[in-house]
């Protein structure tokens, strides 16, 4: 219960910080969000070629990257494939591949909130951890402070997403004006996590990994997740 209340508090306070409404125009948003976007070499894409939620498996792309899709009726999907290095242990490289989808809202202050449908998941591979390869649920609400779309002279429309603290994600380029997404309904049976403070596995895992000094953020898409992690640690 404490975890849920603190998470709600984080999201409730965020719009207060950036309370002025944003007027969208072509000076900073050359097109709409609708479509599929991908970073870098565009090897990571949303849709059926990346993840199979029914059995929680992935088709690994050739290179790392992120991809976001947005539909006109308010649904999103995210595919992520990333590596996290460790300066003190160069051979301890953590790989995280993850998929999630849900509903997004463009807030009047220019931020975006993304609330998952509850069937997201990710695979973590860490050769230096006690468990070197495991799959876990990923269903955290994400908050992005703002977004911008520009016209790149060589690659077309370019999307910039900014995390809760204003730090930018890698720029993404429009690869399809129609969103390439899996069906926008829950795609596997999931058991909702209990709210009991002693038996909530997702909260317990987050806190234990934070206390153990994990070298990655468990796939968090924004710094809001890091703030939430700190709040939970203080509350327990």
Q: pLDDT: is 20 or 209 the higher one?
A: 20
pLDDT for 92: 85
**What's the domain range around 50?**
35-176
Q: Is residue 21 part of a domain?
A: no
Dihedral of alpha carbons 194, 196, 202, 205, sign: negative
Would you say residue 175 has pLDDT above 80? yes
Q: pLDDT: is 192 or 21 the higher one?
A: 21
- Pull the structure tokens for residue 179: 């969103």
Q: Is residue 205 part of a domain?
A: no
Cα dihedral value 209, 211, 215, 221, nearest 10? 60
Write out pLDDT tens, residues 179-236.
Answer: 999 999 999 987 654 444 343 333 333 333 333 333 333 333 333 333 333 333 333 3
Q: Is residue 30 part of a domain?
A: no
Q: Is residue 159 part of a domain?
A: yes
Mean pLDDT over 57-61 rounds to 96
Residue 98's nearest CA partner among 69, 74, 119 is 119
Mean pLDDT over 93-121 rounds to 96
- Residues 197, 101: Cα–Cα separation, whole Å: 27
Q: pLDDT: is 77 or 215 the higher one?
A: 77
Range list of β-strands (E), the chain: 35-39, 51-52, 57-58, 65-70, 75-84, 94-106, 112-116, 121-125, 133-137, 142-152, 156-163, 172-176
pLDDT for 25: 73
Record the pTM: 0.73
pLDDT for 132: 84
Residue 114's nearest CA partner among 1, 218, 221, 36 is 221
Q: Is residue 85 part of a domain?
A: yes
The DSSP letter of residue 224 is: H
- Residues 221, 203: Cα–Cα separation, whole Å: 17
Sole residue written with tokens 């596995």: 201
Q: Is residue 2 part of a domain?
A: no
- Residues 153, 135: Cα–Cα separation, whole Å: 40
Q: Is residue 74 part of a domain?
A: yes
Helix (H, G, I), strand (E, B) or coil at 72: coil
Would you say residue 83 has pLDDT above 70? yes
pLDDT for 84: 86
- Number of domains, the chain: 1
Q: Is residue 193 part of a domain?
A: no
The number of residues making up the chain comes to 236
Dihedral of alpha carbons 130, 133, 137, 140, sign: positive
Half-sphere exposure of 36 (CA within 13 A, CB side): 18
pLDDT for 29: 85
Would you say residue 44 has pLDDT above 70? yes
Sole residue written with tokens 């990571």: 44
């Amino acid at each position: 219960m404490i975890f849920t209340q603190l998470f709600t508090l984080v999201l409730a306070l965020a719009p207060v910080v950036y309370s002025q409404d944003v007027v969208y125009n072509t000076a900073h948003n050359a097109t709409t969000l609708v479509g599929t976007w991908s970073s870098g070499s565009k090897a990571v894409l949303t849709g059926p070629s990346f993840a199979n939620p029914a059995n929680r498996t992935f088709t690994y792309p050739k290179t790392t990257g992120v991809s976001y899709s947005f539909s006109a009726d308010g649904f999103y999907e995210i595919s992520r494939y990333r590596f996290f290095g460790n300066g003190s242990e160069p051979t301890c490289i953590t790989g995280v591949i993850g998929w999630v989808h849900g509903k997004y809202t463009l807030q009047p202050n220019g931020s975006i909130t993304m609330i998952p449908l509850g069937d997201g998941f990710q695979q973590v591979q860490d050769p230096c951890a006690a468990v070197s390869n495991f799959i876990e649920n990923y269903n955290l609400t994400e908050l992005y402070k703002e977004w911008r779309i520009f016209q790149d002279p060589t690659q077309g429309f370019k999307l910039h997403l900014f995390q809760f603290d204003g730090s930018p994600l890698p720029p993404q380029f429009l690869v399809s004006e129609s969103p390439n997404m899996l069906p926008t309904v829950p795609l596997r049976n999931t058991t909702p996590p209990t709210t009991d403070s002693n038996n909530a596995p997702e909260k317990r895992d987050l806190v234990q990994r934070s206390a153990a000094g994990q070298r990655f953020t468990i796939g968090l898409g924004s710094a809001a997740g890091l703030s939430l992690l700190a709040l939970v640690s203080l509350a327990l």
